[in-house]
Amino acid sequence: MLGSSKWCGGAMALMLAWLCASAGAAAQGPAAAPASAVPKRAATTDDAQRDGYRYYQIGDLAAPRPAPTRAGMMLVGGGDWPREAFAWMIERAGHGRIVILRASGAAEAQDEFFRDLGGITAAQTLVFEDRRAASDPRVLEIVRGADGIFIAGGDQSRYVRYWKDTPLARALDAHVRAGKPIGGTSAGLAILGAYAYGAMDGGSLVSQAALDDPTGPQLTLVDNFLHLPYLQRVITDSHFGKRERLGRLIAFLARLSQDHRRDDLVGLGIDEYTALCIDAQGEGRVFSGNGGKAWLVRPSLRADVYAQGEPLSLRAVPVIGVGADSTLRMGDFKVERPAFSELYDVESGQLIRREPTA
């Protein structure tokens, strides 16, 4: 169980390693990427497709990284990219080489990084088409040599099926331990937490269906995938306000609380065109192009009604908004200068916001 003392000790060790790696990288100053970090031969289209992936690149792969890397996590809610957040990530990648991971699409994200945002030496894209690629030596060499990693949107069930319990997943954990930044948007955001909505049934669960039966087979949750600092108690969700996903995030937390016998789990929903950026000290700031928020959801009570086939009932769920003027401390999940603070009840599957008291 993730709540065991063994897990807690491992989580603390991971956070300490992340902090030390970030400090060490900053102290070393600018450095060229080691020879092993640059693929000896770029994958041809035929080679890559044979091995279960497609490969694209832009820029100078041999160029030295201009500045040291620093640890950081960029959690993007989907939709348009908030430029300030991506500039934050590029700076933490030392303006070096960004590797984009995805399971659909092509080179559009790498072109946006290199041509539109700029300030990096190169970008590479790996488009995964089956699980074999997550063990491919060339793929792992590219990932290990990245100065920053960005996981694109799409269908997170493919990430779960292709990456979970593979050398690639271990390489992503190692990248973060080395004091390098990682980011994800939409489906790429969904898999960054210790827990994830896997969408393994092929659909995208809406809030009302989740509240009507949080035990149902359509609510597919995944754990023990990635192991990132400050996210060990967190499940994330994207496109949050626009797609009205508060209800389903509450249902996710009710399910996890029952399945793992824990009452300390946290939900983080991120609006579109919005990012929560977390530094090595666990301080989170929101960047948004449309006034979007991060939504912190922390149920403090077990469900009143949680049974197979029954609508959820749960009282007094605190929901706190993290805005551009807020700071979220990930160590204790306290919000300074919250954008809003609300309380919700779920009564027989219906989500009800409590009216504020005078």
CATH of the domain at 263: 3.40.50.880
Query: Which of 36-50, 122-136, 151-165, 177-191 is predicted with the least confidence, judged by mean pLDDT?
Result: 36-50
Q: Is 229 a member of any domain? A: yes
Under a CB-based contact definition with an 8 Å cutoff, are residues 296 and 326 in contact? no
Q: What is the mean pLDDT of residues 321-350?
A: 98
Q: Is residue 291 part of a domain?
A: yes
Q: Which of 183, 167, 139 is nearest to 43 (CA)?
A: 139
Residue 30 lies in a domain: no
Question: What number of CA atoms fall less than 13 Å from residue 230's CA on the CB side?
Answer: 26
Mean pLDDT value of segment 330-342? 98
Q: What is the pLDDT of residue 51?
A: 85
Within a domain: 68? yes
Q: pLDDT over 90 for what percent of the chain?
A: 82
Query: What does the angle CA 139 – CA 280 – CA 147 come to, to the nearest 5 degrees?
Result: 25
Alpha carbon distance 36, 141 (integer Å): 8
Distance CA 209, CA 15 (A): 36
Question: The domain containing residue 139 runs over which residues?
Answer: 36-353
Q: State the average pLDDT for the chain.
A: 89
Label residue 356 by pLDDT band (50, 70, 90): confident
79 assigned to some structural domain: yes
pLDDT tens column, 286-330: 999 999 999 999 998 889 999 999 999 999 999 999 999 999 999
- Read off the tokens for 33: 């990427």
pLDDT at 4 over 60: no
Whether residue 48 lies inside any domain: the answer is yes
pLDDT digits (tens, 9 = 90+) for 265-288: 999 999 999 999 999 999 999 999
- Mean pLDDT is lowest, of 43-47, 144-148, 220-224, for 43-47
**Contact partners, residue 319, CB within 8 Å, separation at least 6:** 246, 295, 296, 297, 341, 342, 343, 344
The pLDDT tens digits for 239-269 are 999 999 999 999 999 999 999 998 899 999 9
* The predicted structure's pLDDT at residue 201: 81
> 190: which 2 tokens?
């969904």
Q: Are 270 and 77 in contact (CB under 8 A)?
A: yes
Q: Does residue 265 lie within any of the structural domains?
A: yes
Mapping DSSP to helix (H, G, I), strand (E, B) and coil, where does residue 175 land? helix
How many domains is the chain partitioned into structurally? 1
**CA atoms of 107 and 54, how far apart (whole Å):** 10
